[in-house]
Chains A and B, each alone.
Chain A
Amino acid sequence: MAAPLLEVDDLRVEFGTGPETASVLNGVSYHVDEGETLAVLGESGSGKSVTAQTVMGILDTPPGRITGGAVRFRGEELLGAAPERRRLLRGESMAMIFQDALSALNPVYTVGFQIAEQFRFRRGMSRRDAMARAVEMLDLVRIPSAAQRVKEYPHQFSGGMRQRAMIAMSLALDPELLIADEPTTALDVTVQAQIMELLDELRRERGMGLILITHDLGVVAEVADRIAVMYAGRIVEQTDAASLYAHPAHPYTRGLMDSVPRVDDLGRGAGAPLRPIPGLPPSLSAIPNGCPFHPRCAYAVDVCTDEVPPLREIGAGHRAACHFAERFAAEGPDRPATQEVISR
Chain B
Amino acid sequence: MGRYTLRRLLQLVPVFLGTTFIVYFLVWGLSDDPFAGKCGQRECSASYVAQMTERYNLDDPLIVQYLKYLGALLTGDFGQTFSGTEVSTLIATAYPVTIQLALVAVVIEALIGITAGVLTGLRGRGFVDNLVLVSTLVLIALPVFVTGLVLRQVLGVELGWIRTSVPADPTLGQLLVPGFVLGSLSMAYVARLMRTSLVENKRADFVRTAIAKGLPRRRVVGVHMLRNSLIPVVTFLGYDIGALMGGAIVTEGVFNIRGIGGLVFRGIQQQDIATVVGIVALLVIVFLLANLLVDLLYAVLDPRIRYD
Contacts and interface: CB of A to CB of B under 8 A. Distances in A.
Interface of A: 56, 58, 60, 87-92, 95-96, 98, 100, 103-108, 117-118, 121-122, 153, 155, 169, 172-173
Interface of B: 203-206, 208-217, 219, 223-224, 227-228, 231, 301-304
B103 to A, nearest CB: 26
Given A107-B302, A107-B303, A108-B301, A117 B215 contact: yes
A103 to B, nearest CB: 4
Nearest to A113: B223
B219 A121 contact: yes
21 contacts: A58-B208, A58-B212, A96-B212, A98-B205, A98-B209, A103-B204, A103-B205, A104-B205, A104-B206, A105-B209, A106-B206, A106-B224, A107-B206, A108-B301, A108-B304, A118-B214, A118-B215, A121-B215, A121-B216, A122-B215, A153-B304
A121 B218 CA distance: 11
Given A58-B211, A91-B212, A169-B213, 15 more contacts: A87-B216, A88-B214, A90-B211, A90-B214, A95-B213, A96-B212, A98-B209, A100-B205, A103-B204, A104-B205, A104-B206, A106-B210, A107-B228, A107-B303, A117-B215
Contacts of B224: 106
Contacts of A172: 213
A60 B214 CA distance: 15
Nearest to B219: A121
A91 B304 contact: no
A43 B112 CA distance: 48
A153 B303 contact: yes
A136 B213 CA distance: 18
Contacts, number: 72
A178 B158 CA distance: 68
Given A107-B303, A108-B302, A121-B219, A90 B213 contact: yes
Nearest to B228: A108
Contacts of A56: 212
Given A58-B208, A98-B209, A108 B214 contact: no
Contacts of A90: 211-214
Nearest to A107: B304
Contacts of A121: 215-216, 219
Contacts of B304: 107-108, 153, 155
B228 to A, nearest CB: 6
Contacts of A98: 205, 208-209
Contacts of B213: 90-91, 95, 117-118, 169, 172
A108 B303 contact: yes
B301 to A, nearest CB: 7
A155 B303 contact: yes
A243 B214 CA distance: 37
B233 to A, nearest CB: 14
Contacts of B303: 107-108, 153, 155
Contacts of B215: 91, 117-118, 121-122
A150 to B, nearest CB: 14
Top 7 A-B residue pairs of the complex, sorted by shortest distance between their CB atoms? A91-B214, A90-B214, A103-B205, A106-B206, A153-B303, A104-B205, A104-B209
B212 A95 contact: yes
B275 to A, nearest CB: 45
Nearest to B211: A58
Contacts of A60: 203
Contacts of A108: 227-228, 231, 301-304
A121 B211 CA distance: 13
A155 B214 CA distance: 24
Nearest to B217: A87
B140 to A, nearest CB: 29
A90 B228 CA distance: 23
A248 to B, nearest CB: 33
Contacts of A173: 214
B181 to A, nearest CB: 34
A344 to B, nearest CB: 50
